[in-house]
Amino acid sequence: MPIKKAAYKALRQNKKRALKNKAVKNKIKSLEKKFAKEIKNKDKAKLQAVFLQIQKALDKAVKNEIIKKNKASRKKSRLSKFLRQIDSVKS
């Protein structure tokens, strides 16, 4: 446990920030699960909508330094690959 007042405050801030970061990461994970569900349903319109939500959430997480830029880019790239595959199958 911290001894100094400033160290105790830093610990409180860290806990609060960790909770916020975890909430954002959980939101991204739940959107990815929703995306996977829509892939199985092969509903192109819903899939596109969920993809846009994921992109927005990832970009916001990068802006707030919750996840790294390259990780977000990699996730968006892989998800867009699935989206393109669904488009080519439907056509």
Q: Where are the alpha helices (DSSP H) in 1-68?
A: 5-41, 44-63
Q: Is the pLDDT of residue 80 over 60?
A: yes
Looking up residue 58, the CATH number of its domain turns out to be 1.20.58.110
pTM confidence score:
0.85
87 pLDDT more than 80? no
- CA dist 18 and 32 (Å) reads 21
Sign of the torsion angle spanned by Cα atoms 58, 59, 60, 62: positive
What is the per-residue pLDDT across 37-69, written as a single tens digit (0 to 9) for each?
998 888 889 999 999 999 999 999 999 999 999
Instruction: Give the pLDDT band (50/70/90) at residue 29.
Output: very high
Structural domain count, the chain: 1
Domain that holds residue 74: 5-90
Q: Which of 61, 43, 65, 42 is nearest to 53 (CA)?
A: 61
